[in-house]
Amino acid sequence: MVFSSLTFLYIFLPIVLILYYLVPDRFRNFFILISGLFFYAWGEPIYVFVMIASTLIDYFAGLVIFRFGHKQHIRKLALLVSVVMNLSLLGFFKYSNFIVENINAVFGTQFGAPTTLLPIGISFFTFQSMSYTIDLYRGNIDVQKNPITFAAFVTLFPQIVAGPIVRYADIAAELNERKLNTDTLWEGVLQFVTGLGKKVLIANNIGPVWDAVKAMDLHSVSVATAWLGIGAYTLQIYFDFSGYSDMAIGLGKMLGFHFPKNFNYPYMSKSISEFWRRWHMTLSEWFKSYVYFPLGGSRKGLPRTILNLAIVWLLTGIWHGASWNFILWGVLYGVIIILEKLVKEWSKRRNRTSIPERLPSFLKHLYAMILVMLGWVLFDTDTLGQAFSYIGKMFSFGSALTDDYARYLLVNYGILFVIAIIGCTVFPKWCAEQCKKKMPAVFNCMEIIFMMLVMLVATAYLVDAGYNPFLYFNF
């Protein structure tokens, strides 16, 4: 039987946690290293050496940066080696096939594919490891001389393959000393179970709607069906990715770590700029800290700010995948964010409120969500042609607005759509906070019941299902 990463984690986690709590404190980083390598090697037995290579590169580069603190040229060389080597690993495994395919298409050549498999999570662990040498060079952190401790940082199995992207500065103190208590452990369990429920009960069940609609002949798809299909994917990717992030953060708390938040109700945004302050927050922070600010950020005038934003969003698209769809997806967001900034600056210079700011909240929210959904079409179709054809069908009001299949989807998935949409808002959190404030005893009982029910139902789904991949494992 082939285990998916989720099923394997279900079996792997209890064993790891029991052993982790039994291991003396001084050996826990070594245990994290071994368990992380084992977890990654289960799915990628060969490419675990790519992660080990990235770890060794940055560890030794860090030692050189520390050792030659008074020789700036050597420190720069060490940093350059770290960045170039990490980006080379990422570039070869993730982008070489794409580059070769385009060379063949343009020049009519027949070069073979350089690699056949993409190491799981390579975009995450290379960025995570590389942040250490950059921050060390800047003087923002202290050197980590212990190779076991540094390797434990890179191989932390809860978030090793799909984030959140944890920078060394985020957990430097906890790598050296961390305290476990029942309150933090319980918080971790609840957050893990919440994430598990998001993934198994919502994402896995609403995802088939998009799979079915995407596979249909677009000529037979009504406008309503097209919108329901991409609406399903919009909900699926949020609950899948934020679910994994919750599981990772919860597991981190169980181990004594506090990982940064990765989502903050992004579908409540009223602009695309706000959406990206709420979605995949650790990636946005990474690009802001290591690309946008070093380029000058917004400190060198509006034209330079626009250029810096354009570079960041081009790189964001490229980071997500090796295809023209991802590149255009990043460019699309970059253009929209630049336009939003220009409108804001234009209004600011004229001491007036901009037109978007004067719009009712529901219209601003509608504007943001329509653009986000159009972006997801680009994100999860194989070619630009497919993406444009699907978007065309969404706005093809000359054809059938609805059909029997749209009604079938509403009847069979309507309740799930409503539950998922409510789950994207702060309403459930607000209800929980009110209950905790006014009826603490009842709230504590409800937490336990909630955890047991989600675990029970999710386990039943996992036993019945064959394969449960997380969407962001592909990145």
Q: Is the pLDDT of residue 14 over 70?
A: yes
Using CA atoms, how far residue 446 sits from 187, 373, 451, in Å, is: 14, 35, 8
* Candidate ranges 65-69, 227-231, 443-447; pick with highest mean pLDDT: 227-231
If pLDDT is split at 50, 70 and 90, which confidence band does 391 have?
A: very high
Q: Residue 359 has what DSSP assignment?
A: S
DSSP state of 348: H
Looking at residue 29, its pLDDT comes to 92
390-394, 448-452, 459-463, 470-474: lowest mean pLDDT where? 470-474
Share of the chain above pLDDT 70, in %: 93
pLDDT for residue 392 is more than 60: yes
Q: What is the CA radius of gyration of the chain?
A: 23
Task: Give tens-digit pLDDT for 232-267.
Answer: 999 999 999 999 899 999 999 999 999 999 999 999
Number of H helices, E strands in the chain: 20, 0
pLDDT of residue 39: 80
**Which residue numbers are catalytic?**
320
Q: Which residue has the higher pLDDT, 344 or 144?
A: 144
**pLDDT at res. 259:** 92
Q: Left (φ > 0), alpha (ψ -120 to 50) or beta: where does 148 sit? A: alpha
Residue type, 168: Y
pLDDT of residue 2: 37
Residue with tokens 């937490």: 447
13: nearest Cα among 184, 258, 188: 188
Measure the CA–CA gap between 355 and 363, rounded to whole angstroms: 12
Q: Cβ atoms within 10 A of the Cβ of 137, count?
A: 21
Per residue in 312-321, pLDDT (tens digit) is: 999 999 998 8
Q: How confident is the model at residue 9 (pLDDT cuts 50, 70, 90)?
A: low
What pLDDT score does 202 carry? 93
Residue of 415, 373, 404 lying closest to 227 (CA atoms): 373
Contacts of 14 (CB under 8 A, 6+ apart): none
Give the model confidence (pLDDT) of 418-451 as tens digits: 999 999 999 999 998 898 888 888 888 988 898 8
Residue 217 DSSP symbol: -
C-alpha 40/C-alpha 161 separation (Å) is 8
Give the pLDDT band (50/70/90) at residue 1: very low
> What tens digit of pLDDT does each residue of 149-192 get?
999 998 887 777 666 889 999 999 999 888 888 888 899 999 99
Least confidently predicted of 99-108, 198-207, 283-292: 99-108
pLDDT of residue 10: 67
Beta strands in 28-167, from DSSP E residues, in sequence order: none
Q: Which of 302, 277, 272 is nearest to 288 (CA)?
A: 277
